[in-house]
Amino acid sequence: MSAARNRISRYRRASVSVAAVALLALSGCSVGPDFISPPPPDVDRFTPEKLTAIGAAGKDRVRLELDASVPQRWWEAFHDEKLNKLIAAAIEHNPSIQAADAAIKIAYFNAEAQKGAFLPTAAFNSTDNYIRQSFQQQFQNNAPTNPFGLFLKQLTITYNVDIWGGNRRSVESLEAQTDLQRYQLEAAYLALTSNVAAAAVMEASLRGQIAAIQRVIAIEKELLEILQNRVRVGSSSQADFLMQQTALGQAMQLLPPLEKQLAQQRDLLTALAGQYSTAQVPETFDLHRLQLPKTLPLTLPSTLVRQRPDIRAAEANMHAAAAQIGVAIAARLPSLTLTPQLGFSAFDLAKIFVPASGFYILGGSVAHTLFDGFSLLNKQKAAEAGLVLADAQYRQSVILAFQNVADALRAFQADAKAVKAAAFTEESARKSLAIARGQLKIGSVSQIELLNAQQAYLTASVARVQAEGNRLADVVGLFMALGGGWRDINLRDLPPSEPGAPIDAQIETINGPVNTSWFPSFLD
């Protein structure tokens, strides 16, 4: 019994030693740069002048709320229940959202799988043999009585000690990629809601244009009937009648292209809602139901970089690239692997678990690459170049985000003027056509003047509808450019960095908390 207790004691000491080395490795430092979030741009607006309102004084003037938060359900600002219902259906059924969610799970489980390297790997091996040796083998090898059994139950533990933090950097990189996928899910959500809202606005605009043309067609049919009666009594010529008939035909020719666009727009809305084209969505949209918001939020530039999922995705990509530098540096340093083995071996299965049949082997190995044709060095330099690339892509994402907001504001400014001019022109053309219609009844207007009045009213009516549709579409674009009300409240928010050296200079000076001055010169 004493011998058995001694063996058990040795097993425990061996286990404690392995655990101590594991804890030492887990508490160690990691080579490579520690990532810090890039600082926000040092600007306080998106355009050269500070905007507080857009549009002339009146009911169409929109006030900008500076440093205001975009509502998460920003589409409710249009006060259209059909739009709210359709966007809710799209979020629930659109496959792009489901695909992005699956991509998050892939990245998450890859990171969790990499964390398994922090723990030892245990493998159990059971080998049972029933052996009959030859007559010569039995006497030459002094073997047991023939035939005999050989039974082996063995537990092998393998542990790669993460001395330099290479595995920690690998996990860090994979977790950053998981964040990236989460941000891309939010970007897909923002794109989907914006596309549905923009498609609804386009449908409303097309319906408005079709309605305007149909109003003009009704007027032209009325005028054609008047001219037909005047031809019968001889007060108008056949040429005047044919000119009016041609104008009517030209107006009618405008309808099929718009009807085709409307049908395709309906197909688009159905697809965005995650439905097949054979079952179109029941919601329809008209311009008079989509209200122009009286106020619009305008976040600060420093806030925008934390509220745009595409910018945060670029930041996560930069984080992953920074961690890969640590992985590359750790690969150039010595590695330590512990391989303890515990087991039982006996010639009789009934005696395999008795104390005398137990054994253990404590093994370890240190490996280090002395020369590899500079492969690992070049991989490290490639990882450093990858961080420079990711940093440039991040800065480009921020620049494009600022451009998106500035473009949306400029477009909205132009829309306000366009709507006002279009409404004025349409009203003038309507009055001019009304005068021409009255003069036609008494025969005091030429056919050319009448046709010009009809064409002017037709063009002005369609232009007014298009201007109103463009203004609503640019409101959607502004909400999208500002991040669509997304908040990063569930993910790790890295501390902001201080403005300083560019990223390529940081790569040269930051190698983490581990002192590498004693490394052999050929590592440089």
Q: Is the pLDDT of residue 180 over 60?
A: yes
Read off the tokens for 237: 């010529």
Give percent of the chain above pLDDT 70: 84
Chain centre to alpha carbon of residue 276: 25
Burial class (CB in 10 A: 0-12, 13-18, 19+), 467: buried
Show me where the domains of the chain are located.
1-30+125-161+335-367, 31-117+162-277+299-333+368-515
Q: Is the pLDDT of residue 446 over 90?
A: no
Angle, helix 375-442 to helix 309-331, in steps of 10 degrees: 170
Positive or negative CA dihedral for 287, 289, 294, 297? negative
**pLDDT digits 0-9 by tens, 357-405:** 888 889 999 999 999 999 999 999 999 999 999 999 999 999 999 999 9
C-alpha–C-alpha distance, residues 180 and 328, integer Å: 21
Judged by average pLDDT, the poorest of 119-133, 240-254, 386-400, 411-425 is: 119-133
Read off the tokens for 15: 């286990």
Helix H segments across 147-165?
none
Q: What is the DSSP string of 470-522?
A: HHHHHHHHHHHHTTTT----SS--PPBPPS-S-HHHHHHH---SS--TTS-GG
**pLDDT digits 0-9 by tens, 298-310:** 988 888 888 899 9
Burial class (CB in 10 A: 0-12, 13-18, 19+), 508: exposed
Instruction: Provide mean pLDDT across the span 407-424.
Output: 93
Q: Is the pLDDT of residue 16 over 70?
A: no
Read off the tokens for 244: 């009016």
Say what the pLDDT of residue 26 is: 45
Instruction: Provide mean pLDDT across the span 156-163.
Output: 92
Instruction: Provide mean pLDDT across the span 220-234.
Output: 87
Q: Is the pLDDT of residue 54 over 50?
A: yes
Say what the pLDDT of residue 491 is: 45
Say what the pLDDT of residue 514 is: 35
Phi-psi region of 160 (alpha: psi -120 to 50; beta: other; left: phi over 0): beta
Q: What is the DSSP string of 405-422?
A: HHHHHHHHHHHHHHHHHH
**pLDDT digits 0-9 by tens, 272-315:** 999 998 888 999 999 999 999 999 999 888 888 888 999 999 99
Say what the pLDDT of residue 307 is: 86
Class of domain 1-30+125-161+335-367: mainly beta
Residue type at 309 in one-letter notation: P
Q: Does domain 31-117+162-277+299-333+368-515 have CATH number 1.20.1600.10?
A: yes
Give percent of the chain above pLDDT 90: 56
Give the pairing of strands 364-367 and 335-338: antiparallel
Instruction: Provide mean pLDDT across the span 137-156.
Output: 70
Per-residue confidence band for 240, with pLDDT thresholds at 50, 70 and 90: confident
C-alpha–C-alpha distance, residues 37 and 171, integer Å: 18
Contact yes or no for 468/55 (Cβ under 8 A) = no
Angle, helix 166-233 to helix 447-481, in steps of 10 degrees: 170
Say what the pLDDT of residue 485 is: 84
Which among 42-51, 172-181, 480-489 has the top mean pLDDT?
A: 172-181
DSSP assignment letter at 225: H
Positive or negative CA dihedral for 378, 506, 32, 398? negative
Say what the pLDDT of residue 138 is: 56
pLDDT, mean over the chain = 84
Say what the pLDDT of residue 498 is: 44
Say what the pLDDT of residue 252 is: 95
For residue 304, give the nearest of 49, 41, 71, 25 by alpha carbon.
41
Angle (CA) 218 224 226, round 5°: 110
Burial class (CB in 10 A: 0-12, 13-18, 19+), 341: middle
Say what the pLDDT of residue 136 is: 58
Q: Is the pLDDT of residue 509 over 70?
A: no
Per-residue confidence band for 513, with pLDDT thresholds at 50, 70 and 90: very low
Place of tokens 């998981």: 178
Question: Which H or E run includes 468?
Answer: helix 447-481
Per-residue confidence band for 503, with pLDDT thresholds at 50, 70 and 90: low
CA atoms within a 13 Å half-sphere pointing along the CA-CB vector of 272: 25
